[in-house]
Amino acid sequence: MARRTAVAWAALGPLLWGCALALQGGMLYPRESPSRERKELDGLWSFRADFSHNRRRGFEEQWYRRPLRESGPTLDMPVPSSFNDISQDWRLWDFVGWVWYEREVILPERWTQDLSTRVVLRIGSAHAYAIVWVNGVDTLEHEGGYLPFEADISNLVQVGPLSSQLRITIAINNTLTPTTLPPGTIQYLTDTSKYPKGYFVQNIYFDFFNYAGLQRSVLLYTTPTAYIDDITVTTSVEHDSGLVNYQISVKGSNLFELEVRLLDAENKLVANGAGTQGQLKVPGARLWWPYLMHKRPAYLYSLEVRLTAQMSLGPVSDFYTLPVGIRTVAVTESQFLINGKPFYFHGVNKHEDADIRGKGFDWPLLVKDFNLLRWLGANAFRTSHYPYAEEVLQMCDRYGIVVIDECPGVGLALPQFFNNVSLQNHMRVMEEVVRRDKNHPAVVMWSVANEPASHLESAGYYLKMVITHTKALDPSRPVTFVTNSNYAADKGAPYVDVICLNSYYSWYHDYGHLELIQQQLTTQFESWYKTYQKPIIQSEYGAETIVGFHQDPPLMFTEEYQKSLLEQYHVVLDQKRRKYVVGELIWNFADFMTEQSPTRVLGNKKGVFTRQRQPKSAAFLLRERYWKIANETRNSKI
């Protein structure tokens, strides 16, 4: 039995602060300010998939050297969107290899002529490997979808009077290999009686469609040449004062001053400081609370940072404003505490896909989903199984919806995926996730993987390394991974702060036998708790349900079966949630697309909403339950 002492990050916050591993370079969200401008490049891009046998024709013919249309026929491709569902050409649906995007841009003259302006190209996400050329010049490469990357392109655009015309070419490869995250394998099918010569398929080990392309915004933004590169904020509470610890990194100058002002939501100054690091004290601070937990949730302050640097061309100023929520997170043997109070996650797992846009970021979808989350009374979600767009997390900060932020560590199913190259890559990805999302009060825990083969010895070492690394990057948040292993076999569980369990009783096991759920779920919780003495979240449970299918008594795939299965889970969750079970997240918020397979009917149908965001019967059941839990929590002075 592995015993452990409770860890209270809240109390250790300021002490641990100095220990955080320094992250190389910042990835601040590009906000406008008096010193910064933004130019969004969303809209129609030229697009061409490289259907050549080796998929390398684009490189052999150097498509980046001249306008893409001169290389051959191009398509109009909306950005952001996945390219897979847009065209009527079936070959694009599951295309594997290089696709090419291109967009021409005119820059404002002051961006190209003012040498104290720095111009940055930022790509919100390009799944899974990207190479970027600006005016034919190789500028940037990035591995991994779902996370932003950027390059200072000032040198390329500030080269003379004609430089305001810009051609951006991005080649993206969606191939997944044993060392990418998520991993995959390419399999050549060589039986020539069945397959044409050179025929191959991409094998993946996760249950969502491998949508690809420029799925989030691409934009250009400016900063002065001396600029605020990164800000890291951690918060704690001492009596009734909020403490805001900040660390700021500046690039482009060694001779500078930093002024820091913390404003409340009414724009009143509540604390100020100076220099690259410090602590701001806010007497009587209003805390950031999850919504439904407090009558005034999600309170955000603004940290205004002003940089003044002495440059050879004269003084330069840069401004950046960061929303800050003051809150603490801690974990004991049986509780998850926010601001010292027990928090119960009653929420969902999501995916980012919907309709023809695939995983393309979409404002109407974002707002609709948040309206549905609030309709449902969901106070939390997990970003299954990859980091979501930054705008999603900003919305969570504002609405008070709590997030378990998961990296794309999904599909780690084969022993060969736990190798050293993958491990280094996984740790790098965690650095990128933490760098991007560390300042969101809504993010209360990192998840480094979903259902890895954690019964393997090699997985134990691997998970230990990734978790330890993540904790070193951010000592202020608990870390987990989501398991579906057996409690006695799991080699990664000793290293997590919270046990997250996926189980599909009466769906993938003993299917049709709803009467077994209570016994099996009770055994699950009791064996895990007895072994590890850590709080537990039921991080997935659910049933495939085709909207409009009805049967009573309930049979699998009907709306009645989904409801009954949920009800059985809820009986046990209600018994355990007052003890050590600290959360339940339904699989899934909405139906989503997967690979084609005999077990998937146009995708995964375990949503309580359809892919078009209409409720199935189970959504009403869940709604009643979540609001009931919320009201109980509110009434018990929490």
Cβ burial 551-583 (10 Å sphere, 16+ → b, else e): eeebebebbbbbbbbbebbbebbeebbeebbbb
14: burial class by Cβ within 10 Å (0-12, 13-18, 19+)?
middle
Cα 289 off chain centre by: 21
Residue 74 or 450 having the CB closest to ligand BDP: 450
Q: How far apart are CA 392 and CA 366, in angstroms?
A: 7
Q: Which of 438, 563, 606, 611 binds ligand BDP (CB under 6 A)?
A: 606
- Annotation says 540 is catalytic: no
604 binds ligand BDP (CB under 6 A): yes
Q: Which of 150, 318, 474, 540 binds ligand BDP (CB under 6 A)?
A: 540
432 binds ligand BDP (CB under 6 A): no
Minimum distance of ligand BDP from residue 594's CB (angstroms): 7
Q: How far apart are the first and last CA of the chain?
A: 32
359 binds ligand BDP (CB under 6 A): no
Minimum distance of ligand BDP from residue 551's CB (angstroms): 21
569 binds ligand BDP (CB under 6 A): no
207 binds ligand BDP (CB under 6 A): yes
230 binds ligand BDP (CB under 6 A): no
587 binds ligand BDP (CB under 6 A): yes
Q: How far apart are CA 461 and CA 464, in angstroms?
A: 5
Q: Which of 82, 117, 202, 484 binds ligand BDP (CB under 6 A)?
A: 484
Cis peptide, bond prior to residue 385, ω within 30 of zero = yes
Q: Which of 502, 533, 545, 558 binds ligand BDP (CB under 6 A)?
A: 502
Minimum distance of ligand BDP from residue 208's CB (angstroms): 6
476 binds ligand BDP (CB under 6 A): no
Residue 577 or 606 having the CB closest to ligand BDP: 606
Residue 439 or 450 having the CB closest to ligand BDP: 450
Count, residues near ligand BDP per rule CB under 6 A: 11
> How many CB atoms sit inside 10 A of residue 541's CB?
26
450 binds ligand BDP (CB under 6 A): yes
Residue from 406, 451, 540, 559 carrying the catalytic annotation: 451
Q: Cα dist. 205→5, 208, 210, 242 in Å?
A: 36, 9, 11, 45
Residue type, 29: Y
Q: How far apart are CA 347 and CA 5, in angstroms?
A: 28
Minimum distance of ligand BDP from residue 444's CB (angstroms): 20
Sheet strand arrangement including 277-283? 227-238, 241-251, 277-283
Residue 160's contacts (CB-CB under 8 Å, 6 or more residues apart) are none
Q: What is the DSSP string of 590-604?
A: B-B----BTTBSSSB
Residue whose pair of structure tokens reads 């500046």 in the numeric block? 250
397 binds ligand BDP (CB under 6 A): no
142 binds ligand BDP (CB under 6 A): no
Q: What is the 3-state secondary structure (H, E, C) of 125-163?
A: CEECEEEEEECCEEEEEEECCCCCEEEECHHHHCCCCCC
Minimum distance of ligand BDP from residue 556's CB (angstroms): 13
Q: Cα dist. 426→83, 172, 417 in Å?
A: 26, 20, 11
Residue sitting closest to ligand BDP (CB)? 207
Minimum distance of ligand BDP from residue 270's CB (angstroms): 43
Q: How far apart are CA 503 and CA 484, in angstroms?
A: 6
Residue 439 or 484 having the CB closest to ligand BDP: 484
Binding site for ligand BDP (CB under 6 A): 206-207, 385, 450-451, 484, 502, 540, 587, 604, 606
Query: Which residues are catalytic, by number?
Result: 451
